[in-house]
Chains A and B, each alone.
Chain A
Amino acid sequence: MNRHEQALALARRGQVITWIALVGLAGVFIRALVFTPIERTQGPAQKIFYVHAPVAWAALLAFAVAGILSLLYLWLRDRKIDSIAAASAEVGLAFSVAMLTTGPIWGKTIWGTWWSWDARLTSTMFLFLLFIGYRVLRGAIGDPDMRARFSAVIGVMALALIPFIHMTVVWFRTLHPEPVVLRPDAPSLPGVMLVTLLLSVVVFTVLYVGFLLQRYALDILQDVREEAASAVS
């Protein structure tokens, strides 16, 4: 099997995983809307939380993977790692858009404002902009090795930047809800809601894997195409 066929097989596997995740997502919607009770203080608006929090998780996971793979690339210098890191960053951008649109919709009803310069909102937006920069940089470099090195440098620096941005915006002031699941004592969420949320987290993680595989396969196909083109000329 040559690289081209391998990539197509990978893309097909990604497609299957994505479809499984999409069916799961429909299940999450049904469960969240029909089988999970309405939250007392926030009302129906709280339902968006079952999409917003998991999609934010998927976005941050994608960026974290991109950052860690960047570090790994600088060490091992394997082009494959660079490809996966870039694919992960791009999938992270897509999830970020979902996160940054569902957040304000919830915020308008609960906080009374579309946008607030709250700590987590602000830091995820900056992270989003940073990875847009990463993507733009990749687009501006022709040489694949240079592209890999430069984007790995940006990825590693992004990893180091995150705690600083976080501290900065937290000190500025914050109004985001306290963590409800990952907190020192037991989760403050009732069992039924917690199950819906965790289900959604699983579904979005699977969706991430499906997207990542397809994007990575696309990258290989592009690479094969470029090599073929340069071989002809």
Chain B
Amino acid sequence: MRSFWMAAWAVAAKDMKIEWRTKTAFASAIVFAVLVLSIFYFARDPTAVSALDIAPGALWVTFTFAAMLGLNRAFMLERENMAMDALLLAPIPPSAIFVGKLLGNLAFVGVVELVSLPLFILFYNLPIVRQLPALMGVIAMATIAFVSVGTLLSSMVVRTRFAELMLPVLLLPFLIPPVVGAVQLTSRILIGRPLSDLAGWLKLLASFDIVFVVLCFFLFEATLDE
């Protein structure tokens, strides 16, 4: 058990180290997030729609697409120089590779979100110091949902033609429940509704997380070449 987590951690640490040394994907994902957030601000009639009304949607569309950039990259790294074969040759369970990749992607997407969240609050002028912990909880739950499904799908699509195009087409249908849930929760949190109002959507997010993390964990082995 301990060696499983050590192997997973080694994979995640490797990915994070590569990212830390180049910072290309990371920098582009953040710039991308800032651009989308500001484009959304202007994509409305300011006399008819207040910034608060479009803020939840803007936030989640931004996060979804920024996450997709990171996920596309995750297994692309392993394709160069057939690094994936080397990973598979290592005497570790294949599911440890999945968990490692999942952790690496979570770290990547999480940091991009952490950087763009303050900008979001600033841009949309949201007075939400008190609701911030609840909002961050929702972000964490939805991010786990995105990244678990995204990691599995990205491990498959990198081995197909038109990989960059394929990931959104396959991934977005799976993101409907978490994105709709996260937007509903975010809009309720932003206008300060009580927690009891959120219970249904929170349960949906939590059950999605549990079901898909477990499912992706077990399905990952089926995606590997024998």
By a beta-carbon cutoff of 8 Å, the part of chain A in contact with chain B is: 74, 126, 129-130, 132-133, 136-137, 140-141, 146, 149-150, 152-154, 156-157, 160-161, 164-165, 167-169, 171-172
A164 adjacent to B177 (CB under 8 Å): yes
How many angstroms between the C-alpha atoms of A132 and B166 in the bound complex? 11
In the complex, which of the residues B162, B200, B225 contacts A171, with contact meaning CB atoms closer than 8 Å? B200
Q: Which residue of A lies closest to B207 (CB)?
A: A164
B156 interface residue, CB < 8 Å from A? yes
How many angstroms between the C-alpha atoms of A171 and B162 in the bound complex? 35
In the complex, which of the residues A126, A160, A171 contacts B215, with contact meaning CB atoms closer than 8 Å? A160
B174 adjacent to A161 (CB under 8 Å): yes
In the complex, which of the residues B166, B177, B180, B207 contacts A137, with contact meaning CB atoms closer than 8 Å? B166
Main secondary structure on chain B at its contact with chain A?
helix
3 nearest CB pairs, A to B = A140-B160, A164-B177, A130-B173
The answer to whether residues A168 and B219 also contact, given A133-B173, A137-B166, A146-B225 and a CB cut-off of 8 A, is no
Interface size class of B (residues with CB under 8 A): 20 to 34
How many angstroms between the C-alpha atoms of A146 and B222 in the bound complex? 9
B124 interface residue, CB < 8 Å from A? no
How many angstroms between the C-alpha atoms of A150 and B157 in the bound complex? 9
In the complex, which of the residues A140, A150, A164 contacts B161, with contact meaning CB atoms closer than 8 Å? A140
A164 adjacent to B156 (CB under 8 Å): no
A137 adjacent to B204 (CB under 8 Å): no
Minimal beta-carbon separation of B68 from chain A (angstroms): 14
Minimal beta-carbon separation of B210 from chain A (angstroms): 11
Minimal beta-carbon separation of B61 from chain A (angstroms): 16
How many angstroms between the C-alpha atoms of A161 and B177 in the bound complex? 9
Which residues in B have their C-beta under 8 angstroms from that of A126? 173, 176
A160 adjacent to B212 (CB under 8 Å): yes
Question: Which residues of B, 141-176, contact A by the 8 Å Cβ criterion?
Answer: 149, 152, 156-157, 159-162, 166, 169-170, 172-174, 176
A153 adjacent to B219 (CB under 8 Å): yes
The answer to whether residues A137 and B170 also contact, given A149-B223, A161-B177, A164-B208 and a CB cut-off of 8 A, is yes
A149 adjacent to B222 (CB under 8 Å): yes
Q: Which residue of B lies closest to A130 (CB)?
A: B173
B223 adjacent to A156 (CB under 8 Å): no
Minimal beta-carbon separation of A54 from chain B (angstroms): 25
9 A-B contacts (beta carbon < 8 Å): A126-B173, A129-B172, A136-B170, A146-B159, A150-B223, A153-B223, A160-B211, A160-B215, A171-B201
B215 adjacent to A157 (CB under 8 Å): yes
Which residues in B have their C-beta under 8 angstroms from that of A140? 160-162, 166
Which residues in A have their C-beta under 8 angstroms from that of B211? 160, 164
A156 adjacent to B219 (CB under 8 Å): yes
A161 adjacent to B173 (CB under 8 Å): yes
B104 interface residue, CB < 8 Å from A? no
Binary CB contact string for chain B from 194 to 226 against chain A (1 if under 8 A, 0 otherwise) = 000000110010011001100110010011010
Q: Which residue of A lies closest to B180 (CB)?
A: A168
How many angstroms between the C-alpha atoms of A38 and B179 in the bound complex? 43
Minimal beta-carbon separation of B1 from chain A (angstroms): 25
A165 adjacent to B204 (CB under 8 Å): no
A156 adjacent to B160 (CB under 8 Å): no
